[in-house]
Chains A and B, each alone.
Chain A
């Protein structure tokens, strides 16, 4: 049985593994300077990191709590704008002048945290009325809230059309505030990685506790959950807010990746990778109720998106194939259908990838093999 010691051992193994990987990455990062690395690999790493956080955080609501929310990008937009505006403010207030100074990274982290917190506060405001509804109605109302958030941001004088999104301000985001160029992205690649690890660790700790059990019981049977003493509405709103917090942080990372911000990136009609329904697709493909599944599918979906966007165009394929891939949403839909046909519960289902169990499994296999070989001799 899993007791405290085996779990602590698991944490230790995971921490050591992550630390080793991170060190290896940092050494690689310092010595590897090909154009492919800094122009393609590192920006992709940043994008993947916020997509992972985004998909995993939506999985808390969709897979563990069992509520369909289509407004996740709204929280991301709040995080992105808050972080961008705050970092611009920091720059104008003269808190940091040089993007290479350590104080810069502190102010960036503060901006990201602020973005997450504001998204969480809006999550409370949206969640309390919205989570009284269930199923399709909840989906519709969260969809509406997502759009409302984008429109409100658009019409804020300091954020929207006249503010950040306007040409000159957008350019200044790149030069002064949060926007990272490729060199900075390479320099601060560890920031994206560490934030992703911390966010996912926080989500895992949440799921593997009495809170996680409570929200899973709500997913399975709301009436029985309340008859077992679970305060259903409190846990629902709590999970929604927790999820919004991480969406906000993901938004902040998104703002770091981009030179300019526009609410069109978060809009429901947006055909690109950032779209509330697309994140739902990621969660479903990875497996509802599996955080590692969300990570996996975020990476896969990003690669798919990358191939559609860049490789197909440059591949010199026949024109009709290229034309087909002009509609990426169509491709995602087909991927979703294929996954659901062969793996109805998603790639990982509700299972989680566990390093310790994998090691045990390999050990078991090797042990058997050794026994077999010993027998044959």
Chain B
């Protein structure tokens, strides 16, 4: 019996007016896999993420999460089903504390009714306590537990990235989409991030789709890589195959004219 992929897209595409931003995007990601998505600037990588998280509605094709069709769902519904993401430019809840940032993402996991909060019923306290504990556990994975009461925007850049990943993990996802997590990081921070990604995979066993420009990182951690350019998939395979693929090199560096 074949396994159902966690994420599967079938000829996914979107057209903005006359511009075909993404077309015929096919990918299958299985549980525990780490797949890289690379391509030159403007290739449509982030658009793919926006399609997968319900920010845009695909104009062509379909995508499935564990065999369930996700077309036309709104972002929060997609998140509830199990696709979480981080953003290329960090989007934290800046005025809230580190702990609250994570708690927001746990919102739908520890539900209580409005009246429970109004009258502070025992259920309210129980749920809030569990929520607090899980949020702190998540922060401790990223060594942020002693910064729980910091205002999020006061964290250094690398830790803001980590917090964003922690927040995405708090949604209880099956697949995590990381949009350029290493952008703007120095080599030490990138190494730390690598460590983080490793820990996430060990602890949660989830699938990860990673957009990244840092080639050493991509080649290091990704099991498979998909390359897109001008919205079209131009190569797909193992890291070393991609590194030697003529078309990919051309896309990045241009063609040798003579």
Give chain A's interface residues, CB within 8 Å of chain B: 3-4, 11, 202, 205-206, 209-211, 213-214, 216-217, 219-221, 223-232, 289, 350
Contact = CB atoms under 8 A, between A and B. Distances in A.
A289 B171 CA distance: 26
B117 interface: yes
29 contacts: A4-B129, A202-B118, A205-B118, A206-B118, A210-B117, A211-B114, A213-B107, A214-B104, A216-B104, A217-B104, A220-B92, A220-B95, A221-B92, A221-B93, A221-B94, A224-B92, A224-B93, A225-B104, A226-B75, A226-B79, A227-B91, A227-B168, A228-B79, A228-B167, A228-B168, A229-B80, A229-B108, A229-B171, A350-B95
Contact of A229 (B76, B87, B91, B125): B76
Interface of B: 53, 55, 74-76, 79-80, 84-85, 87, 91-96, 100-101, 103-105, 107-108, 110-112, 114, 117-120, 124-125, 128-129, 131, 167-168, 170-171
Nearest to B102: A228
A69 B214 CA distance: 45
A205 B105 contact: no
A205 B128 CA distance: 13
Contacts of B105: 228-229
A229 B131 CA distance: 15
Contacts of A216: 93, 95-96, 100, 104
B104 A211 contact: no
A3 B129 CA distance: 8
A96 B92 CA distance: 56
Nearest to B103: A213
B120 A205 contact: yes
A40 to B, nearest CB: 36
A224 B96 CA distance: 13
A229 B107 CA distance: 8
Contacts of A209: 117, 124, 128
Most buried by B among A210, A211, A219, A230: A210
Contacts of B170: 228
A220 B124 contact: no
A210 B76 contact: no
A213 B107 CA distance: 8
Contacts of B96: 213, 216-217, 220
A199 to B, nearest CB: 12
A210 B112 contact: yes
A227 B111 CA distance: 18
Most buried by A among B74, B114, B129: B114
A4 B119 CA distance: 14
A2 to B, nearest CB: 9
Nearest to A232: B76
A209 B103 CA distance: 10
A219 B55 CA distance: 19
A227 B117 contact: no
B93 A217 contact: yes
Nearest to A238: B114
A292 B22 CA distance: 51
A56 B162 CA distance: 36
Nearest to A207: B117
B148 to A, nearest CB: 8
A228 B53 contact: no
Contacts of B117: 205-206, 209-211
Nearest to B131: A210
B94 A210 contact: no
A109 B170 CA distance: 44
Contact of B79 (A11, A213, A227): A227
A211 B96 CA distance: 14
Contacts of B91: 221, 223-224, 227
Contacts of A226: 74-76, 79
A229 B93 contact: no
Contacts of A3: 129
A230 B171 CA distance: 10
Given A4-B128, A211-B117, A229-B76, 7 more contacts: A211-B114, A216-B96, A217-B93, A226-B74, A227-B87, A227-B168, A229-B107
A213 B76 contact: no
Contacts of A211: 114, 117
Contacts of A210: 103, 107, 110-112, 117, 128, 131
A221 B94 CA distance: 8
A220 B75 contact: no
A259 B61 CA distance: 66
Contact of B171 (A205, A228, A231): A228
Contacts of A219: 95
Contacts of A221: 91-94
B163 to A, nearest CB: 11
A138 to B, nearest CB: 20
A344 B28 CA distance: 51
Contacts of A228: 79, 104-105, 107, 167-168, 170-171
Most buried by A among B80, B87, B93, B100: B93
A217 B99 CA distance: 12
A3 B128 CA distance: 10
B76 A230 contact: yes
Most buried by A among B104, B105, B114: B104
Nearest to B115: A205
Nearest to B126: A4
A246 to B, nearest CB: 13
A216 B93 CA distance: 8
Most buried by B among A223, A224, A231: A224
